[in-house]
Amino acid sequence: MPADRALVLDFGGVVTRTLFETHPMTEAALGLAPGTLTWRGPFAPETDPLWRDMQAGRITERGYWAARTREVGALIGADWQEMSDFVRAARGADPEAVIRPEALAAIDAARRAGHALAILSNELDLFYGADFRDRLPILDAFDVIVDATYTGILKPDPRAYAEVLDKLGLPAAACVFLDDQPKNVAGGTAAGLISIRFDVTAPGDSYAAALRALHSIERAGP
């Protein structure tokens, strides 16, 4: 029987741990002294003015990470131009180590319940590099992946949500969408999806809320 509902996930921060959470891993991979990286984004916004600028809309999320990419590259004498250069250097040795265990559990639960799975990302391959997908077996669990690296249509543009719904073949009301950026959650809500803000400081709670919402959707048909 075809899936009659779907769990739609952002990727960075939702499926993977954020770069803020993995500073020790990054420092070890790049040969930096422990404690070198001090920016903490949502975990300590009061100490990260660049993050506050992004949250206030003064710079884009891509702009934030472009700045951090240049900054960290300069620490090791690397002229990184792309976010994927940073991510590959920081996480390339073991990409599976940054997958959230809560994500693995939720994806497994949704799949066992017969629900469809989709990723709706603004920068999956832009940030991680196209080869990153081949090294993450978890991505094989997803029925649909919509990546603005290629479409050029970024959330919260309504067309981004429309594309993932079209590929899923499901109505918006049959889909639960999880994203860590408030503007993208608002965009999902405006597009009719059941949209939940993912709290990177409480991933288990966020996934539990998404699964409850998915379970509560009334089955379509007779």
- Mapping DSSP onto H, E and C, the string for 98-149 reads HECHHHHHHHHHHHHCCCEEEEEECCHHHHHCHHHHHCCHHHHHCCEEEEHH
Q: Are 193 and 161 in contact (CB under 8 A)?
A: yes
- The CA distances from residue 100 to 11, 20, 202, 215, in Å, are 11, 14, 11, 22
pLDDT score recorded for residue 66: 94
pLDDT score recorded for residue 93: 65
- What's the pTM? 0.89
pLDDT score recorded for residue 219: 65
Sheet (strand 6-9) strand order: 144-147, 116-121, 6-9, 175-179, 194-197
Write down all domains in the chain, each with its CATH number in brackets: 6-16+99-216 (3.40.50.1000), 23-94 (no CATH)
Pairing of strands 194-197, 116-121: unpaired
pLDDT score recorded for residue 135: 79
pLDDT in tens, 64-82: 999 999 999 999 999 998 8
Instruction: Say which residues have a Cβ less than 8 Å from residue 50's Cβ, sequence separation at least 6.
Output: 39, 59, 64, 67, 68
Pull the structure tokens for residue 208.
């539990």
pLDDT score recorded for residue 133: 77
pLDDT score recorded for residue 202: 96
Placement of tokens 């900054």 in the chain = 71
Rg over alpha carbons for the chain, rounded to the nearest Å, is 17
Residues in the chain with pLDDT < 50? Answer: 220-222
